[in-house]
Structure 1
Amino acid sequence: MQLKLYDNPTTFYKNLLKHFFDNIYESLSFYDFLGKLSDTPVVRSLLKPFLELYASRLHAAALPLPLPPILELVQQAKVIAVDECVCRNLWHNCDRPSRTCFKINTSAEAYAEGHKDSLITKDEAVTILTDAADQGLVTQLESCMPPYNYSICCCCRCCCVAMRLRYDHGIYNAMRSGCYVPEFDAEKCTDCGTCVNICPPKALRSGSRPELDVDSCLGCGLCTQHCPSEAIVMANKRPVRQIEERPNPVVWMALWAYVLGFMVPAVVLYSLITGRKTRAFGKLSRD
């Protein structure tokens, strides 16, 4: 699977991202709340399909990838900025590195307008990403209004909103499984259990050789990277399609109407009810 970055350099898209970054803590807290609400029997049948659609066509559509293809995507980026991981700063469930959230291209430009010191070189990004994977963080590509990519995240099972939405609340599209699947060399495997312990969704079980739950596997490649006997390789075997086409005009306008007519007021209302301070979303200007 040949991956590439898709960007939308319009003023409208840039302003949307700026306002999202201004309210990102409130927004992710609201997503977490919706995930918990979707477990309620009364609303489950209505809310879960809505969240699946939102995640696949509007925001996130997170695609986990092993470190090598992520580093290839970094080389495609024209502008890169790095920020603190919002999820780990919100929930503090682990002590892994937090300066691991990357904005790319138009997203980086939008973020850097208020954070000039966030801009970094490709070499610096490679160093941070490599260290993050060494620390057991899942590297993934995220989209905002697919096909447009805006972020490369380094996520942990205990804090990441997208991962928790999938594995705790059953919202699959919040973090899809990637195209890679681990393959094991029985002759090299020593049954040390390293891959079982490092796997974020616990998709591996110990046996004469590790047993894989393919449906749970993210395809993140952490098992391969951390295997001391080099008994695992990642094979590109799952038919995962990277969204490439811009939505047709009707769908596009419907998505924007949803964002401005429901999602923004909902986040603001949630923030007021829970006591979280938020800045109102300003007026968006179209390019």
Structure 2
Amino acid sequence: MPTRTKPHPHDDAPDTADAFRRLAALPPGTARNALKDEIVQAWLPMADRLAGRFRSRGEAFEDLRQVAALGLVKAVDRYDPDMGNAFESYAVPTITGEIKRHFRDHMWTLHVPRRVQELRNKVRVAAQDLSNTTSGRRPTVAEIAERAHLSEEEVRNGQEALESFSALSLDAELPGSDDGYSLNDALGAPDPALDTVVDREAVKDRIAALPERERAILYMRFFGDMTQSSIAQQLGISQMHVSRLISRSCGRVRDEVLGDGGGDT
């Protein structure tokens, strides 16, 4: 790279102005790709510094470096030296935007609309700014709204989004619990009685349509908990006949329910 001739905001920033002018004049091909790679390598330390600003946010630093490098490549591809701006002033927001997009698209455990994510960022920045002026207390919703130029409802939505970046494990112990009681212990479970209700409603009309004697036998067997022998003795018929009537009645009801999906015949 040529010796730097103009001062840069960072002492170690390379002077690539001439390289960018040569890059703009080269047609697509091996020579252009090689020069572009040379420029990218020269600016990689800056991309790494920008990635370092996002440490401790739940993403591995090496992954952040890769995202920042991708943003740097995009900046090199899109930069136009004829616009008169220094490459660094164009590359920094491009790389930073790429990293923020990575967090927005890949790091949220819960899906949060972009508008709400932007509210979250505005609320977070305003709250941080106000924390230095509110004498040790948390800033109020009204104060944050005034600082961020948002409505109080928007501030509340942003505050809720602050809690949505990551999800709490179901095995996490509940706050204030001393006996290991976890969130999973507080969740409900399917009620098996619901299936019974559905089945009962499905067969009710079919049972009502059975002959009176068959209805009586089913009632004594399944609701009165009587044995087939007791039913046979009470009705004056054989136990075998009771068994056949129960099987026939249950089969008829089942066929009718399954035949039309539980609707009326």
TM range (shorter): under 0.3
- 1 or 2, which has the higher helix percentage? 2
- 1 or 2, which has the higher strand percentage? 1
What is the TM-score with the length of structure 2 in the denominator? 0.22
Q: Flag the structure with larger Rg.
A: 2
Specify which structure has the bigger relative contact order, considering alpha-carbon pairs within 8 angstroms and separated by 6 or more residues: 1
